[in-house]
Amino acid sequence: MSSTRQPALPAPSRSSRACLSADERMYQKLVSAIIGKGLRPGEHVNELQLAEAYGISRPRVRRVLERLELESVIEFKRNRGAFICRPSVKEARDVFEARIHLESIVFRLACERAGKADIARLRAHTRFEREAFDRGQSDVNQVAGDFHVLVAEVADNRVLLDAVKLLIHRVCLIQSLYETNRTVLCLVDEHERLVDCIERRDPEGGVAETVHHCQHILTSLDLTDRRSARADIYRADDVAA
C-alpha cells in the first residue's frame, strides 16, 4: 500500500462540466442516456439533430459517434446512419464473463493499494448510492455504475480503469435490452460487502463476492426480452450528474 498516492478524484461538478467542449458534452450526454437506460439498443442517433443541438459540424458529431463505435456502443448501418448497438445473447454472456475476470483483477489491486481516504470515499459513495435507490432517483444506474469505476480508480491502473469504464457501458446496454421485473434491488448491500473486503485486505473474499455480484445481475436478465424507449439526447443544455 502506498501512503502517498492521491485518493480517487470526485466526479466532475456541474460547473466543471460547463467547461467541457461540445464534443465531450455530447459524448457524456449519450453515455449518460445509455447508462440511465433511456437511450435504448437499436435506437437511431440522428447526426444532423446532434450537430444543430450542440452547434458543431457534422464531421465533429461523426467523430464522437466513431469514438462510441470503438467502444462497441454505436454501430453504423450502410445508408441508414448510426444506431445504438443491440447486443446478442452470446455477446451478453461474453461481456459478463469478461467483467467477472476483469473486476476480479481490479479488486485484488484495490485491496492491495487502497488507503484510508479511498476507503472513506467508497463508504461515502455507497451511502449516496443507498439514498439514490431509496429515493428512486432517475440516475440510479449511473450511480451504481460509478461504484465500479471508483473501485478501478482505487486500483490505480489507468489501463484497467479505461477497460472498466467501457465494460460498464456495454453492461448497461445489455441490461437495457434484457432487464425484467426481476431487477436486482440489493446491489447496494453487495457493494457495501465489497468495500468491507477492501478495508480488511481480503482479496479472496472480495473476488468471491465480485463473482456472486456479477452472476446475480446476469441471472436477473431475460436474454430473450426486447424493449424500446426514447431519450432526448438532442438537448445540449446539461449532462446527467
Q: Go through the domains of the chain in sequence order and give each one's CATH number.
A: 20-84 (1.10.10.10), 89-219 (1.20.120.530)
- End-to-end CA, the chain: 31
Examine the pLDDT at 85 and tell me if it is beyond 50. yes
Task: Give the Cα separation of 53 and 4 in Å (integer).
Answer: 44
- Which three cell numbers, joined as nine digits, stand for 160? 484497467
- Which three cell numbers, joined as nine digits, stand for 28? 457524456
Q: Given this model, what pLDDT does residue 235 score?
A: 60
Q: Rounded mean pLDDT of 123-142?
A: 88
Q: Is 214 or 2 the better-scoring residue by pLDDT? A: 214
Q: Is 46 or 140 the better-scoring residue by pLDDT? A: 46
Q: Scanning the structure block, which residue is given the C-alpha cell 449532462?
A: 239
Q: Is 207 or 41 the better-scoring residue by pLDDT? A: 207
Q: Out of 16-25, 55-64, 86-95, 196-205, which region has the weakest mean confidence (pLDDT)?
A: 16-25
Compute CA distances 147 → 8, 75, 85, 229, whole Å.
12, 27, 24, 25
Q: Provide the whole-model pTM.
A: 0.77
Q: Dihedral sign for Cα 163, 167, 168, 169, please.
A: positive
Q: Given this model, what pLDDT does residue 124 score?
A: 97
- Which three cell numbers, joined as nine digits, stand for 197? 473486503
Query: In terms of residues, how long is the chain?
Result: 241
Q: Dihedral sign for Cα 175, 218, 101, 200, please.
A: positive
Q: Is 142 exposed, middle or buried (0-12, 13-18, 19+ CB in 10 A)?
A: buried
